[in-house]
């Protein structure tokens, strides 16, 4: 007889117990009695009912030995160990798994589970994090240390820190599932585990060594088959084409010399009219206008004419000039310049400028987050290489949850066969968060079947791809999902009257802009523009309505004017009834003040009187909300000092 660690009674082991009659439908949720928790992410946490320590299940049955297992019917018998201290929960799991035809062994202590796994062949162990005598993590660590290679599904009552999941993955745990989970989810994971070869579980010698050695060996030990063969990449990148507009031979020769060492093709053109004519017959990624030091207004005026024309609208323009005069830079930004180059011109600077203009013309590349094993992530990245997207790989579902705290991808492509936290659990967590409720999620799996599809769609996945996947199908589905979501988001994010972003959309995009600027060591100017002498002081309702209508018209005119005077990628939003807010990347305090003064002058010419307050990231504040407060405080101070005033410090 196997005794429990407490010595108060025999260990509770039963094979294929008669489960309670299960009258619930197949989509029943597997959970235990719950009490609320408040970790970083919301999750259900299990409570415990008092139990009689002397109570036990039926006496342990006679189990076949390892040798006998292999002799029965000429093949190994599938045996599943369910280790959980909750009697009702164990019986519920047994009821779900009994139709799968496996031999079920239920235990409530770590000692009993360890004895069964050591002495008998076990095809799969389902282990809870809290057993009667010790934690499930300690049991798994001891099994791996003693040489057990049994596949393990680990059950958690609540979400933990990423380090906990990394530790379980290093111990060779196949999957971490969070309660509550549906019957579909459990069946999918069990079927997948039983279909794998036993040697896909981490050897204990590797699991208990340092993380670097473990990860490097694991790449060799359990390669996940690529979902497809990536298309061959081109040996040479296609050059970007820029028009160089002007008649300065010295600058032209300097730009051509830099282009020889960069992947950029230069097309010299005499003036803006030639640019417009050439746009009708060839593809141009952007136009660089030469600014003469003694008379920069000629180049600025030509660039403005090109941008205001129907043919040149949307064409990214940049400027190149001798020296780095701040006033000329301000004029360039004010004229709609995307980039500004000063002599001497290095090939790397020209390449960066051309790439930035091409990105503006095509629009910002959607960000696709890949959650997959290293090998699978490389295959996915290669397949999406020729699509207009940017990819970022993550190794696990827990890493994705942590990553989303400071990033906003356009789509998540999740290989559900990746070890660690269940893709279904992560998908349910995202759908429970208002911030990521609409984030597109595409799951990939190697297990086709009704259960896998039902589990994915019930969890909120937008699409499910069964491997192997053809590269063109993957690209088509990813782009179609992104385009549909972006179109809906753009309609919802903008004020139809002014063309400006709504406040919530601005906050989300400004957060992403600040995060990118922080990683790249760049600056962002946060500018608040407010109408001076705001209306709304009328004594009767009719007059107030007329004044409000007048303010709305002014804001609409302000929004359209800002759209024509600022760069394509500058953020513009309506913050309140009388305020418009701007986020200008790569604009520092020295450039922001003259830029805003010229902008206020242009507004006055159109009958709009405004004041402005400016705050700089990261010089004034590192947190976006605090930066906005500083800019608004400076705007109120500027308004108190008179009309058309800019306050920065």
Q: Which residues contact 57 (CB under 8 A, 6 or more apart)?
A: 12, 13, 14, 17, 87, 106, 108
pLDDT at residue 154 tops 70: yes
Residue 126: what pLDDT? 95
Residue 140: what pLDDT? 94
**For 73-116, what is each residue's pLDDT tens digit?**
344 568 999 999 999 899 889 988 988 888 999 999 999 999 99
Q: Please check whether residue 2 is in contact with residue 11, taking contact to mean a CB–CB distance below 8 angstroms.
A: yes
Sheet holding 646-647, edge to edge: 571-574, 579-585, 524-531, 610-617, 646-647
**For 596-610, what is each residue's pLDDT tens digit?**
888 888 888 877 888
Residue 548: what pLDDT? 59
pLDDT at residue 303 tops 50: yes
Among candidate residues 385, 374, 624, the one with its CA nearest the CA of residue 516: 624
- Report yes or no on whether pTM surpasses 0.75: no
CA end-to-end distance (rounded Å), the chain: 80
Categorize the per-residue pLDDT at 305 as very low, low, confident or very high, splitting at 50, 70 and 90. confident
Quickly tell me which residue has 């209306």 as its tokens.
535
What angle, 0 to 180 degrees and rounded to 10, lies between the N-to-C axes of helices 541-565 and 589-605?
A: 120
Q: Could you give the domains of the chain?
A: 14-221 (3.40.50.2300), 240-362 (3.40.50.2300), 372-493 (3.40.50.2300), 514-647 (3.30.70.270)
pLDDT at residue 329 tops 70: yes
pLDDT at residue 2 tops 80: no
**For 552-563, what is each residue's pLDDT tens digit?**
677 777 777 787
Mean per-residue pLDDT for 522-528?
Answer: 91
pLDDT at residue 533 tops 70: no
Tokens of 463: 């699409």
Bridge partners (DSSP) of residue 290 are 320
Q: Please check whether residue 35 is in contact with residue 45, taking contact to mean a CB–CB distance below 8 angstroms.
A: yes
Residue 542: what pLDDT? 59
Dist CA 89 CA 239 (whole Å):
62
Dist CA 643 CA 607 (whole Å):
13
Which helix (H) or strand (E) element contains residue 401? helix 397-403
233-247, 327-341, 487-501, 587-601: least confident range: 233-247
DSSP three-state, residue 442 = strand
- Quick one: how many helices (H) and strands (E) in the chain? 22, 26
Q: Which residues contact 257 (CB under 8 A, 6 or more apart)?
A: none
Which of the 8 DSSP states describes residue 407? -
Q: Which residues contact 277 (CB under 8 A, 6 or more apart)?
A: none
Alpha helices in 74-135 (DSSP H): 87-97, 110-119
Percentage of the chain modeled with pLDDT above 70 = 76
Bridge partners (DSSP) of residue 3 are 10
Tokens of 349: 């600077």
Dist CA 364 CA 585 (whole Å):
14
């Amino acid at each position: 007889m196997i005794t429990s660690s407490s010595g108060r009674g025999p260990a509770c082991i039963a094979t294929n117990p008669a489960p309670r009659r299960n009258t619930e439908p197949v989509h029943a949720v597997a959970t235990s009695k719950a009490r609320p928790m408040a970790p970083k992410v919301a999750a259900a946490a299990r409570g415990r009912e008092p139990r009689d320590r002397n109570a036990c299940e039926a006496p342990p049955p006679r189990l076949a030995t390892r040798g006998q297992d292999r002799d029965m019917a000429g093949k190994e018998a599938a045996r599943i160990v369910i280790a959980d201290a909750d009697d009702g929960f164990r019986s519920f799991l047994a009821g779900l798994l009994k139709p799968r035809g496996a031999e079920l062994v239920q235990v409530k202590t770590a000692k009993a589970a360890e004895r069964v796994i050591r002495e008998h062949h076990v095809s799969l162990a389902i282990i809870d994090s809290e057993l009667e005598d010790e934690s499930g993590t300690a049991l798994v660590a001891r099994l791996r240390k003693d040489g057990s290679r049994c596949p393990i599904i680990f059950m958690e009552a609540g979400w933990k820190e990423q380090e906990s999941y990394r530790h379980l993955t290093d111990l060779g745990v196949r999957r971490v599932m969070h309660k509550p989970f549906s019957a579909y989810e459990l069946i999918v994971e069990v079927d997948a585990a039983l279909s794998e070869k036993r040697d896909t579980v981490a050897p204990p010698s590797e699991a208990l060594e340092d993380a670097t050695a473990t990860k490097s060996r694991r790449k060799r030990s359990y390669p996940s088959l690529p979902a497809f063969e990536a298309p061959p990449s081109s040996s040479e990148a296609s050059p970007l084409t820029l028009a160089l507009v002007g008649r300065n031979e010295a600058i032209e020769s300097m730009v051509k010399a830099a282009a020889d060492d960069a992947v950029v093709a230069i097309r010299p053109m005499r003036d803006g009219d030639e640019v417009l004519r050439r746009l009708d017959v060839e593809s141009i990624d952007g136009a660089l206008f030469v600014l003469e030091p003694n008379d920069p207004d000629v180049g600025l005026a030509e660039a403005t004419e090109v941008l205001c024309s129907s043919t040149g609208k949307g064409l990214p323009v940049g400027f190149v000039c001798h020296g780095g005069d701040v006033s000329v830079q301000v004029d360039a930004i004010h004229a709609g310049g995307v980039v500004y180059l000063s002599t001497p011109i290095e090939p790397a600077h020209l390449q960066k400028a051309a790439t930035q203009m091409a990105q503006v013309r095509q629009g910002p590349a959607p960000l696709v987050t890949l959650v997959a094993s290293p090998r699978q992530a490389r295959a996915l990245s290669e397949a999406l290489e020729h699509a207009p997207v940017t990819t970022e790989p993550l190794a696990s579902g827990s890493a994705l949850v942590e990553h989303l705290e400071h990033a906003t991808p356009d789509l998540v492509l999740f290989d559900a066969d990746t070890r660690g936290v269940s893709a279904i659990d992560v998908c349910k967590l995202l759908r429970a968060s208002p911030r990521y409720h609409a984030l597109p999620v595409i799951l990939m799996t190697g297990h086709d079947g009704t259960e896998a599809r039902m589990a994915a769609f019930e969890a909120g996945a937008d699409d499910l791809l069964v491997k192997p996947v053809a590269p063109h199908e993957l690209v088509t589905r990813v782009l179609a999902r992104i385009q549909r979501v972006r179109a809906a988001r753009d309609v919802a994010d903008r004020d139809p009257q002014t063309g400006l972003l709504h406040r919530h959309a601005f906050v989300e995009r400004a957060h992403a802009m600040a995060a990118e600027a922080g990683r790249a060591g760049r600056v962002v100017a946060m500018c608040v523009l407010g109408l001076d002498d705001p209306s709304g002081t009328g004594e009767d309702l009719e007059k107030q309505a007329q004044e409000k209508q007048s303010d709305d018209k002014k804001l609409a005119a302000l929004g359209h004017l800002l759209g024509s005077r600022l760069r394509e990628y500058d953020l513009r939003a309506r913050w309140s009834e009388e305020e418009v807010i701007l986020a200008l990347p790569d604009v520092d305090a020295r450039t922001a003040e003259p830029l805003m003064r010229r902008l206020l002058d242009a507004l006055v010419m159109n009958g709009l009187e405004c004041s402005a307050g400016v705050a700089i990231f990261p010089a004034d504040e590192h947190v976006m909300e605090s930066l906005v407060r500083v800019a608004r405080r400076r705007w109120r101070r500027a308004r108190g000092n008179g009309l058309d005033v800019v306050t920065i410090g």
